[in-house]
Structure 1
């Protein structure tokens, strides 16, 4: 029997499995994932800020998978492409006929000294909870320490995750001030970004609105400020120091280290794939999500790795696995963004929607749109009951 193996149960991997199972192929479908649950990575910033609990952003894989899919809970440690085997931490190596690699992302430190030791990343449920615990414990400590650095927070990076985290943070800080007894007027929040602008995927008017929204709530932005070192109580940019006892690291992500460890031709653990999402010289293997690098045929630049594009890749990868099995020609991957939605706390945000032209939105209407996007994701990857239970 043909074995189709899918690595990772994020947006892309889980969608591939669902598509293959619904195709009613007689192949043996195996899903390998490190955890027994899927988590909504686009909502980790809310867990880190404390506006959502882990139960709000996870669901049980076994309950959501079709019975025909075998689920193996283990950590992938290596891929032998030539012999078509996957090595796991606690199981014997597994063989496959077709492989869909959707192993996901890790925090990117860019080799900056101290970033890994002293920055708190937001890459999974555990790291988001750890960042939340660090934030709350440090703020609470001010009552006895009276150290102003306990009320200082530095967010490294001004991309999508950073801005969404800042939105949740400034929304929750007044609540934490009342509960933990620290003076809100002495809280200091700095956001440090190497490039000259934040949220480069948005138009200037929406970026200006988002920046103004966060500045009015106490966020200090420092653009064109490359980070050169991170220390236990400071972020350094050449001759500048931004002192704080809470340092949130959201400068970017790279693909899973398993990619480099397994000898792929990669950059930042991302592999440039063929136009059908397969790997050069390995037509039986497809890479999707954060471990893949897909060139835009019009611009030549690589598409950004987002949940939206990951799910689109999943559809193509699943269709192409089936095509290969049936001796048919695979299809080319094509993508058109539906738009981008960035929340600024639970009740505000900015968005650009691509429907018959670009529709620009800002303010409270965006929070409704963000809710629809999140719930649609759960509905497509799990089922109606899971979607209702997550609210």
Structure 2
């Protein structure tokens, strides 16, 4: 008779406790217990902030699963799908191919994964704090910022290096802010050129108080102690965007050189794909932790909605609940195998603990409230004895005792990632690159517009010399010539760019013929001495009022829903070479030329094909407030004969059209060729 196979997906607190309980309750001959987890260790997540702040070694917050679960089959393959109908788990095998494993019972304990995309730009510019890898990268970054600040001659830049923003006022955010603040301020005595006033740590929270899980008195104590230690509080401030310069809130912009985000999570991808009842992405369970409508599938922890029979409320996503759910799930599963009735999950919270930095903490245990040093001592004691082995308890306890007498370790291993292609988000006015800085990357604009700004002795405040739109690129000249940036590039509106590191750019540009040809053309165009050799033309362009050359926009405007048939009629009934596609508020969304029309007709498109599918989307445009010099540069950059004119870059409301022929005629009149 085949033995029962129980598959557990997830090696966090809940999954590990479930596996341990099953192995204790079942004989090895009764069942095989298989645990899938991408990492080969359990992460003691409450101590990740301590690893960031050098209170603990990174090795002290992880425990190898094979040593923790010697009688469990541990597999590090990534789970792709759980087929509830066929009772199979699909995963990525050792060679990268998909494989399947059948089960009699499956326990979903996959927790959540970071999802910084809940805030625009956060994924591009913020550090998450979910895994040991996150903690390692963040710790190294903080120490690197200290080293950069030490050798920086510019006081403003030094303060920039030492400005830290932590988003989220829950346990993770409060502990991360406290540890970063302790690490940076406690290490200043080893640095000769950094003053305490150079350091700023800001904690931003969307509610009016920190730590909503604990009592109001302890929340207020935590806030006061952290502010006294140097952590600035921004409460009732919901973060709406993140850029390389800081974060935006409803009340303004908070500048900072480092952003740490402790908010934003989502279910694991395979959970999203499961054919099972869910609520806000989390699996719905019966009172005994079985998936609704299933007798052989169970769920627990952060990925599940588990009602607590003690108070009838959904269980919070905390480690102590996940651990108790893991134990209860295993016990109920054993009852099912023995033909016994299951029991609903019930648990009474033992307490809440949170370190706030400076050897201080807040705690609620068994109805008692503690704060200050003794709460911190209790916090460390509780978590010390939660460590899963005596060896790890002794090791962690020794590290903590060492720090009571000696300074934190400031050594770090460089964790600079291998260069790759990434994405970045910028808000209006953000500098993407700055003049005279060393070249590091190549940029391709996905959406939005940027302006190229050059500072010269004649124009020390800077002059906008070009505008680039979606599909354009920049940064190639400094990389290929290995020279400092010759101009700054600034976002005119919301901009999304693809960022390619120096070495990736060099490799691709050498091997990809179309990119090489585009780069050659751009270098020839942008390196030309056309303007330098014609100072009279430049002077004339600077003196001309662009408004004198703006003509009414070609009418009628086309809606994005206009069909190929309607576009054809518009061209047939007009002498226009181009029509604009506009949305609400006359916002420019695209343009379509006669060439575009003939091309799409030649491709055999149906008459009902919407114009949005073949128009030039988000075309480059000149603002009515721009200069004639900038317009001439745009004509030269794009090779266009006409350019749309918008009222301003933010609204992109159509204001007219600019023809290169009219501008050129005026130049020939005022500055004829020699």
The answer as to 2:161 corresponding to 1:155 is no
CA distance in structure 2 between the partners assigned to 1:326 and 1:8 by the alignment: 25
Q: TM-score, normalised by structure 2?
A: 0.55
Distance 1:268 1:131, change over 3 A: farther
Q: Which residue of structure 2 aligns with residue 332 of structure 1?
A: 344
Kindly provide the CA deviation profile for residues 137-159 of structure 1, in whole angstroms up to 9, marking residues without a partner as x. 22321234431221111100111
CA distance in structure 1 between the partners assigned to 2:276 and 2:115 by the alignment: 18
CA distance in structure 2 between the partners assigned to 1:65 and 1:308 by the alignment: 19
Picking from 344, 350, 367, the partner of 2:376 is: 367
CA distance in structure 2 between the partners assigned to 1:317 and 1:176 by the alignment: 46
CA distance in structure 2 between the partners assigned to 1:50 and 1:252 by the alignment: 25
Deviation of the 1:216 alpha carbon: 0.6
State the secondary structure of the residue aligned to 2:14: helix
Distance 1:126 1:213, change over 3 A: same
Q: Which runs of 5+ in 1 are unaligned?
A: none
Distance 1:311 1:177, change over 3 A: same
Kindly provide the CA deviation profile for residues 23-56 of structure 1, in whole angstroms up to 9, marking residues without a partner as x. 1331011111112221201111111222211111
Q: State which drifts further: 243-252 or 256-265.
A: 256-265
Q: Which residue of structure 2 aligns with residue 164 of structure 1?
A: 175
State the secondary structure of the residue aligned to 1:282: coil
The answer as to 2:18 corresponding to 1:16 is yes
CA distance in structure 1 between the partners assigned to 2:264 and 2:121 by the alignment: 16
Kindly provide the CA deviation profile for residues 355-380 of structure 1, in whole angstroms up to 9, marking residues without a partner as x. xxx2110111122222222222223x
Picking from 85, 88, 113, the partner of 1:85 is: 88
The answer as to 2:107 corresponding to 1:100 is yes
Q: Which residue of structure 2 aligns with residue 27 of structure 1?
A: 31
The answer as to 2:326 corresponding to 1:314 is yes
Q: Is the 8 A contact 2:309 2:347 kept in 1?
A: no
Alignment of 1:253-292 (within 5 A): 253-292=265-304
Deviation of the 1:300 alpha carbon: 5.0
Tell me: higher relative CO, structure 1 or 2? Use CA pairs within 8 A at least 6 residues apart. 1
Alignment of 1:122-161 (within 5 A): 122-145=129-152, 146=154, 147=157, 148-161=159-172
State the secondary structure of the residue aligned to 1:247: strand
Distance 1:52 1:268, change over 3 A: farther
Q: Which runs of 5+ in 2 are unaligned?
A: 398-674
CA distance in structure 2 between the partners assigned to 1:344 and 1:318 by the alignment: 35
CA distance in structure 2 between the partners assigned to 1:348 and 1:178 by the alignment: 21
Deviation of the 1:106 alpha carbon: 1.6
The answer as to 2:238 corresponding to 1:226 is yes
CA distance in structure 2 between the partners assigned to 1:212 and 1:201 by the alignment: 17
Q: Which residue of structure 2 aligns with residue 41 of structure 1?
A: 45
Kindly provide the CA deviation profile for residues 162-184 of structure 1, in whole angstroms up to 9, marking residues without a partner as x. 11112222222223323454222
Alignment of 1:62-77 (within 5 A): 62-66=66-70, 68-77=71-80
Q: Is the 8 A contact 1:349 1:362 kept in 2?
A: yes
State the secondary structure of the residue aligned to 1:228: strand
Distance 1:19 1:170, change over 3 A: same
CA distance in structure 2 between the partners assigned to 1:71 and 1:116 by the alignment: 31
Q: Is the 8 A contact 2:79 2:90 kept in 1?
A: yes
Distance 1:110 1:303, change over 3 A: farther
CA distance in structure 2 between the partners assigned to 1:79 and 1:268 by the alignment: 19
CA distance in structure 1 between the partners assigned to 2:16 and 2:309 by the alignment: 26
CA distance in structure 2 between the partners assigned to 1:371 and 1:144 by the alignment: 36
Q: Is the 8 A contact 1:105 1:123 kept in 2?
A: no
State the secondary structure of the residue aligned to 1:87: strand
Q: TM-score, normalised by structure 1?
A: 0.93
Deviation of the 1:69 alpha carbon: 1.6
Q: Is the 8 A contact 2:26 2:334 kept in 1?
A: no
What is the RMSD computed on CA atoms of the aligned residues?
1.9
State the secondary structure of the residue aligned to 1:103: coil
Number of aligned residue pairs: give it.
384
The answer as to 2:179 corresponding to 1:177 is no
Kindly provide the CA deviation profile for residues 108-152 of structure 1, in whole angstroms up to 9, marking residues without a partner as x. 436210111111111010011111122222232123443122111
Q: Which residue of structure 2 aligns with residue 385 of structure 1?
A: 391
Picking from 54, 61, 84, the partner of 1:57 is: 61
CA distance in structure 2 between the partners assigned to 1:79 and 1:6 by the alignment: 11
Q: Which residue of structure 2 aligns with residue 241 of structure 1?
A: 253
Kindly provide the CA deviation profile for residues 207-248 of structure 1, in whole angstroms up to 9, marking residues without a partner as x. 111111000111111111111101112100135111111000
CA distance in structure 2 between the partners assigned to 1:189 and 1:268 by the alignment: 33
Distance 1:19 1:300, change over 3 A: closer
